[in-house]
Structure 1
Amino acid sequence: MIKEWATVVSWRNGEALVECDVKASCSSCASRAGCGSRVLNKLGPQTSHTIAVPSAEPLVAGQKVELGIAEASLLGSALLVYMSPLVGLFVLGAIFQALFGHDLAALCGAVLGGVGGFLLARGLSPKLASRSEWQPIIISVGLPPNLVRVDDASTESRP
């Protein structure tokens, strides 16, 4: 189970809207000056994701929850998204090369196969996303923010 903490934005009718912060993997790496992942993380404008998660327990805004998703569903979705365009690229490129015997035809077949694989993944993903085992679940719930009180010790016992 892959776990991540999220903050509740709202709760209504058994469904919690939670926000997960995107963590950059380069914050503490020694080679962050020359890292390509750091540059790619800076390009993306989105720093948080908002998703709806079923929750029978009432939650309040600002409350922390731990979400979990099965590894198999994450691996299955990554396989669908990455491998279907790649397989389409190689298969149609090889078929066009065998049929027409020209590199330009192989290039056109590869492009068509890659686009076709992408469209296949795009069409299948809503059907797979509706499966219950592919949905994130709430594993644990933190205290509501109004129940947590922090007292400053330096201001309590001043004469």
Structure 2
Amino acid sequence: MIKEWATVVSWENGVAKVHCDVKASCSSCASRAGCGSRVLNKLGPQTSHTISVPSAEPLVAGQKVELGISESSLLGSAMLVYLSPLVGLFIMASLFQVLFGTDIAAMCGALLGGVGGFLLARGFSPALAKRETWQPVIISVGLPPDLLRTTTSSELSQ
């Protein structure tokens, strides 16, 4: 199970809306100063995601929850997104090369196959996303933010 912490935005009728921040995986690497991936991450938009997760337990805004998703669903969705355009590209490029015998035709077939594979993945993804096994679940719940109180040493001396 792949786990990630998220912050509750709201909870009503057994559904919690949670806010997940996107973290760059290269921030802890020893060679981050000269890394090209880090530069590309800085160029892109800093995104965050808000998703709905079923929760029988009432939650309050600001509360931390640990979300989990199975590895098989993550691998399945990655294969759908990345492999279907690649397979379409190779199949259609080969087919156009055999049928027409020119590199231009193979290039056009590759373009058509890649776009077709992308559209195929886009069409299948909503149906697959409805599967219960592909949905994130709440694994553990942190304390509500108003339950935990901290005091500093200057507050204790008063």
Same fold (TM over 0.5): yes
Amino acid at match of 2:10: S
Partner residue, 1:5: 5
1:105-149, CA deviations, whole angstroms, 9 ceiling, x for partnerless residues?
Answer: 000000000000000000000000000000000000000000010
Partner residue, 1:126: 126
What secondary structure is seen at the aligned counterpart in 1 of 2:5? strand
What secondary structure is seen at the aligned counterpart in 1 of 2:58? coil
Alpha-carbon distance between aligned partners in 2 of 1:55 and 1:153, rounded to the nearest angstrom = 38
Alpha-carbon distance between aligned partners in 1 of 2:68 and 2:101, rounded to the nearest angstrom = 50
Residue 77 (str. 1) matches residue 87 (str. 2): no
Superposition TM-score, scaled by structure 1 size: 0.95
Amino acid at match of 2:69: I
Q: Alpha-carbon deviation of 1:54? A: 0.6
Alpha-carbon distance between aligned partners in 1 of 2:11 and 2:21, rounded to the nearest angstrom = 18
Partner residue, 2:17: 17
Alpha-carbon distance between aligned partners in 1 of 2:142 and 2:7, rounded to the nearest angstrom = 10
Q: Alpha-carbon deviation of 1:37? A: 1.6
Alpha-carbon distance between aligned partners in 2 of 1:58 and 1:155, rounded to the nearest angstrom = 33
Amino acid at match of 2:123: G
Partner residue, 2:61: 61
Superposition TM-score, scaled by structure 2 size: 0.96
Q: Alpha-carbon deviation of 1:38? A: 1.0
1:33-62, CA deviations, whole angstroms, 9 ceiling, x for partnerless residues?
Answer: 222221221232133111110111110000
Amino acid at match of 1:29: C
Partner residue, 1:41: 41
What secondary structure is seen at the aligned counterpart in 2 of 1:42? helix
Alpha-carbon distance between aligned partners in 1 of 2:115 and 2:67, rounded to the nearest angstrom = 33
Amino acid at match of 2:5: W
Could you tell me which runs of 5 or more consecutive residues in structure 1 were left unpaired when the two chains were aligned.
none
What secondary structure is seen at the aligned counterpart in 2 of 1:26? helix
Report how many residues are paired: 158
